[in-house]
Amino acid sequence: MVSDKSQFGQLLNQRDLFIDSPGYFSHFPPIGFSHSYPITETESQTMRLYLDSADTDQWNRLLPSGIFYGVTTNPLLAARAGLDYGQINWSELARRVCDLGGSELHGQIVGDEIAALRFAENIYDIGAKLQLETVVKIPLTRQGIYLAPKIRAMGGKILMTACYSAHQMIIAQAIGADYIAPYVGRMAEAGRDIDTQLRQIKSMSAMGKCRPLLASLRSVTQMIDLIDMGHDCFTISPAIADALMEEPLTLNAAQEFEAAAKTGV
């Protein structure tokens, strides 16, 4: 109970913790309107999911769910989506991500140093114009390692990709990368001890700002095992996204609720 007006005034002055908080009403879209609100850093807490696809039909279908922080792409995903990587209109893709409520778009460098730097500059400029965080993906090759500081100097975020071993996390941390993408499924298929490697990567993540963004996942069960290990950042295929949202017993319960509401039983 509030004992006097003074205490009541103090509570009112704390209203920014409640309805006056930035983004408070963004949790509740206006009736009659459909809109996807971007997930902010504070709203996302620790768990962060990305949609690993260059197929904009999948973006249209899945991003409005609100569970994705952003989208990750690469040349292989672009090819599977029927896109010519060199001809992609990144402005158009970035605009689509914004319209669907995403907060980040990841694109990967290709080609020689000049082409890579030009790509990075372009995608950062696009992001700045749209107020979208664009992240440049750089393969953990020797060439990529040498390129990373030059791209990072442009002021945007970088992700070191195609990680197959824990020792590559040392490089990513030393460079000051924002993310590293261990290819979990491919590591396992190559015979790597993924439990040991991914525990080591997670341990090293406390030594700097580089956040492991786990990729090449094969199942929801694998995700749960990795979460149990302490990982909290994943990029997943549309198939795994669908599997995350499906539970037969939940569906059965929901159908029973609907039936009861209609019959009054």
Query: Is 37-242 in CATH node 3.20.20.70?
Result: yes
Domain range list for the chain: 37-242
Strand partners, 182: 163
Q: What is the pLDDT of residues 135-146, one digit of tens each?
A: 999 999 999 999
The C-alpha atoms of residue 144 and residue 107 are separated, in whole angstroms, by 14
119, 109 contact by CB (below 8 A): yes
Torsion, Cα 236 242 247 253, to 10 degrees, reads: 140
At 10-47, the pLDDT tens digits run 444 443 433 333 343 334 344 333 344 444 444 444 89
pLDDT surpassing 90 at residue 251: yes
Residues 39/40/46/51 CA torsion (nearest 10 deg): 40
- pTM score, whole prediction: 0.83
Question: What does the DSSP assignment read for 7-21?
Answer: HHHHHHHTGGGTTTS
Helix 194-204 and helix 220-229, axial crossing angle in degrees, nearest 10: 50
